[in-house]
Amino acid sequence: MSPARTVLVAGGGICGNALAVLLRRAGIGVDLVELSSDWSVQGSGITLQGNALRVLREVGAWEEIRASITEDRAVNYTWFHRLLVEGPWHRGRVVLAGDAAHACPPTLAQGAAMSLEDALVLAELLTGGADWDERTLAAYRERRMPRVRMVVENSVRLGDWLMEGVRDADVPGLIGRTMTVLGEHP
């Protein structure tokens, strides 16, 4: 691959925005395109836990986000999907990140967190001096896959337990084990 060092981020969700900030801060040229012309907030409030807050602080967005949280009455109804791309997360220089690569029901409140971590890890690899080649992009997926797979599978298991009304399910145990792993650097 040629040594071009510019990035086009397609999608201005939490993942795309975080990636754009982290790459630009490292001096990499980034264009960000967003399908929607409306940047207003839609949807439901979400829970962001320690690992997500650490990335938002790194990006420099947390204080502003916290100051903007004033509305607690919005209710949103939506379908939940499960997605985990088992094959490569890149083709040539096109790379998947965030919900485009993995999505799950919000039973662990970790979808946005995993998207933010993707942005952090991808930015680390792209700005860490390595060539932007097959190996670097494959390393991104290899580093993310075990953690993301655990979150997707455990989120779905919690959702199944809820839907099926399993009364003796070890919900605290499953959440505790998951959060222990997520306490480590992604």
Ligand X SMILES: Cc1cc2nc3c(=O)[nH]c(=O)nc-3n(C[C@H](O)[C@H](O)[C@H](O)COP(=O)(O)OP(=O)(O)OC[C@H]3O[C@@H](n4cnc5c(N)ncnc54)[C@H](O)[C@@H]3O)c2cc1C
Binding interface with ligand X (CB under 6 A): 10-16, 33-36, 44, 46-48, 52, 76, 78, 98-99, 106, 109-113, 115
Which residues lie closer than 8 Å to 91 by C-beta, 6 or more apart? none
Question: What gap in Å lies between CA 141 and CA 136, rounded to an integer?
Answer: 9
Nearer to ligand X, 27 or 43 (CB): 43
Nearer to ligand X, 113 or 137 (CB): 113
Which residues lie closer than 8 Å to 111 by C-beta, 6 or more apart? 46, 99, 103, 104, 155
To the nearest whole angstrom, how small is the minimum distance from the Cβ of residue 168 to ligand X? 26
| 142 φ/ψ angles, rounded to the nearest 5 degrees | -60, -40
Closest by Cα among 94, 76, 73 to 85? 94
Nearer to ligand X, 73 or 167 (CB): 73
Question: What gap in Å lies between CA 100 and CA 98, rounded to an integer?
Answer: 5
Nearer to ligand X, 74 or 130 (CB): 74
To the nearest whole angstrom, how small is the minimum distance from the Cβ of residue 34 to ligand X? 5
Give the E-state strand segments of 57-186 in sequence order.
Answer: 83-84, 90-91, 94-95, 102-103
To the nearest whole angstrom, how small is the minimum distance from the Cβ of residue 115 to ligand X? 4
Nearer to ligand X, 10 or 130 (CB): 10
To the nearest whole angstrom, how small is the minimum distance from the Cβ of residue 144 to ligand X? 13
Closest by Cα among 139, 146, 144, 140 to 178? 146
To the nearest whole angstrom, how small is the minimum distance from the Cβ of residue 5 to ligand X? 22
